[in-house]
Chains A and B, each alone.
Chain A
C-alpha cells in the first residue's frame, strides 16, 4: 500500500468531479493535457478579476503589479529548471513554438548546407517538422536514430550517427506515445563531444522527474504549461545565455525592441528579445501557480505512486485476452499504449468513453512510431499522480465490455 495519499490531492482538481455519460469521469489522458488544480484556476481568475494590465508598459499601479507577477513567475520557472540565470527563461505559447523558435532563430543562424541534425524515431511531430522545414531552408540533413522493438533508442546507432557534421541533436526526454524515458544526460555528453548543441523536448518529462538544466548541460530545453497542471497557451524555452545572446530575434514587435526608427531598430536584451508582443500574462501567472503547487508535493511520493500505477495498469491490461502493449522499455513513465485484437483503437476509445473513461486513441502525433510498430493507431493510458488503481479497474472493465460488444 502506498504511503502517498492520492485522495488528499484529488480534491484539488475540480474537473475530477464531473460525470461523463452519467458515469464519474475517469481521466486517463494526462499526456494530452493534465487537469488543473483549483489554485491555478484561482490565480488566472484573480488576474482577470482584480489585476488586469499589460506588462512592461505603463506606470500605473495595475501595470506595475502585473509586471511584478509576470517577472516573479519567470523566477519560479528558473528555480523549477535550476537554470543559472532568469534571462535564460523565455515564455512562448507552448512546446511547439519553443521548438520552432530554436529551429528558426538558432538553426538559420548557425546551420548551413551539409550540416546534420539528429533526432530519434520516437519524436513527436513537433520535434520533426520544424527541423524538416529548417533542412529545406538551409540545406542541412535530418538523421534519425532507430529504436528497438521495446521502443528504446538504440544508443550504438546514435553514437554511429554522431559525427563532425552533426551540428544539432534534438531529443524527446520521455516519449508521449511509448512512455520510454531516454538516457538524455549521456546522450547530451556524447553530442557535446562532437561539438553539437542539444535540444531536449521535456513536454512529458516535466511531470516525470525533477529537472536540472545545468546538471543535464543541455543547450535548450522546452516544455508546455498545460502538461504540468498549468493553463494552455503558455510554454517555456530554456536556452543557455550564450546561445540566446547570439541568436537573432524570432519575431518582431513590441517588447522585443529597445529603440525603433525607420532607419534602424535595436533589439531588447534577454529574455525580452524573444518575447514580441503582449505575452500570455494570465497563463504565465497560472503556470507559476501550478509549479508552486507541485512544490508542495513530494517528487518521490509522486514517482512511487505513478510507478505503482504503471505496474498495476500494465498487469491488468495484459491480463485481458488480446491486449498487446506497444512500448515496453525498461525505463518508462506512467504511459501505457496498447491495442486490442480485433478492435480498432477508435472504436475502443468511443466505447470506453461511454463508461466515463477518457483515453487517447490515434497516432499521438507520432506517426513514425506507429509505422515502426505496424499499427495504424493505439489506445493510450497516461496516468497522473492523482489517478488511482480503482480508475484502472474501471478502464479494465470498460475494455472487457467493449470486447463483449464486438463479440455480439
Chain B
C-alpha cells in the first residue's frame, strides 16, 4: 500500500541502519537537529578528487522515519557525483511533499520511493528530510542544520 508510512523497508532500516558510524577521513560533515521532536544526527561524507561521493555515514538518534531516511540516503548516495546528489536531493524533496508522483513521473529515486506516502503526514515530512538537508548542508559546508 503506497499510502502506508511504516513499510517493511523503513522498519527494517530503522532496526538495522546501514553506515551507522562515524566516518574516518570524511571531507564533509554536518549536524542536523529537529528541536520539535529531538531528532539529532550527524552526517559524514567522503568526496574524492573526481567529485564523487565515495562514502556516506551517519550517527545520532531519532524516530524511525528519520533514521530509515538517513540509512537509505547513505546507500543511495554512494558512488554518486555531486550533481547526481543534488538532483536526488531535489527529487526526494519533491517526493515527500507530494509534488513528485513516482508512478507517473520519471525519477532516479529507486527504493527511496517508500517515502512517497509521507506527504499525507505533514508533521512527519521534516523527519524524512532532516538527513537530506543535513547532507546538503555538509556539502555546502554548513555546520548545523535545523528543521522545525
Chain A contact residues, CB within 8 Å of chain B: 343-347, 350-351, 361-363, 367, 370, 376-377, 405-406, 408
Contact = CB atoms under 8 A, between A and B. Distances in A.
Given A347-B64, A350-B121, A376-B61, A405 B6 contact: yes
A347 B63 contact: yes
Nearest to B15: A406
B63 A346 contact: yes
B8 interface: yes
Interface of B: 5-6, 8, 11, 14, 35-40, 61-65, 121, 124, 127
Contacts of A347: 6, 63-65
B38 A376 contact: yes
B64 A344 contact: yes
B38 A370 contact: yes
A78 B14 CA distance: 54
A345 B34 CA distance: 14
Contacts of A376: 37-40, 61-62
B6 A351 contact: yes
24 contacts: A344-B37, A344-B64, A345-B37, A346-B63, A346-B65, A346-B124, A346-B127, A347-B6, A347-B63, A347-B64, A350-B124, A362-B37, A363-B38, A367-B35, A370-B38, A376-B37, A376-B61, A376-B62, A405-B11, A406-B6, A406-B11, A406-B14, A406-B64, A408-B8
A350 B5 contact: yes
Q: Which of B14, B35, B38, B62 has the most CB of A within 10 A?
A: B38
A374 B40 CA distance: 14
> When A and B form their complex, which 9 residue pairs have the shortest distance between CB atoms, in order from nearest?
A376-B38, A344-B63, A346-B63, A347-B64, A346-B37, A377-B38, A347-B63, A405-B6, A408-B11
A206 B81 CA distance: 59
A173 B63 CA distance: 32
A344 B37 CA distance: 9
B126 to A, nearest CB: 10
Nearest to A363: B38
Nearest to B67: A344
A408 B12 CA distance: 8
Contacts of B38: 362-363, 370, 376-377
Contacts of B124: 346, 350
Contacts of A346: 37, 63, 65, 124, 127
Contacts of A405: 6, 11
